[in-house]
């Protein structure tokens, strides 16, 4: 098993971690600081990740408190949250920004479930593309005489087994997020 498999394994692992990060930004019924990971704030003309500008706390399961390192950035943080697709209105008490996570409506849960499934499918497509590239690389190596026909078959089988495992992992990750979403 050569570098094709190693590169393939690395890309699969990266795909899974990206999927997990993306799913963390989907708002379930509970407060989670990861909801704010994708939000950038205009800080003196520079788009800056919110998590680099403030301390984010989860005081209870239904709210987040954002304590900016620079109190002057409070308005910009509030504006960035309003402009995001979170669907949560921030409240500003002059020192902190507080987000109250409302319970999800049934319609919103269904929409988010569709979004989660779409993210899972996109991850599966990425894994299939990696598999195709690895298989092509192995077939080229076999044609060039670097691999025997038996080695090629064994390597292709290993890549398929790794793909099947990755697909199962994606299904489990998506299923777990769906369960979290359906909790009231």
| DSSP characters over 116-127 | HHHHHHHHHHHH
pLDDT given at position 177:
86
pLDDT given at position 127:
94
Range of the structural domain that residue 94 is part of = 33-100
Domain boundary among 52, 82, 100: 100
Find all residues with CB under 8 Å of 153, minimum gap 6, and list them. none
Domain boundary among 100, 124, 155: 100
The CA-based angle 91-94-97, given to 5 degrees, is 35
Same domain? For 41 and 76 the reply is: yes
CATH number at residue 167: 1.10.132.20
pLDDT given at position 149:
87
Where the chain has pLDDT below 70, the residues are 1-4, 27-30, 184
- Residue linked to tokens 């005081």: 59
């Amino acid at each position: 098993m050569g570098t094709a498999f190693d590169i393939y394994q690395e890309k699969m692992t990266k795909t899974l971690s990206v999927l997990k990060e993306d799913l963390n930004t989907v708002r379930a019924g509970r407060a989670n600081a990861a909801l704010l990971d994708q939000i950038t704030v205009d800080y003196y003309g520079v788009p800056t990740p919110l998590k680099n500008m403030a301390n984010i706390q989860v005081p209870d399961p239904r709210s987040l408190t954002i304590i900016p390192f620079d109190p002057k950035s409070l308005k910009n943080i509030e504006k960035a949250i309003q402009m995001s697709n979170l669907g949560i209105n921030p409240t500003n008490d002059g020192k902190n920004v507080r987000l109250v996570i409302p319970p999800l409506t049934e319609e919103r849960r269904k929409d988010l479930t569709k979004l989660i499934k779409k993210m899972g499918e996109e991850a599966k497509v990425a894994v299939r593309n990696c598999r195709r590239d690895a298989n092509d690389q192995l077939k080229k190596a076999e044609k060039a005489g670097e691999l025997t026909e038996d080695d090629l078959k064994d390597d292709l089988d290993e890549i398929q087994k790794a793909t099947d495992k990755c697909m199962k992992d994606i299904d489990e990750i998506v299923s777990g997020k769906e369960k979290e979403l359906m909790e009231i």
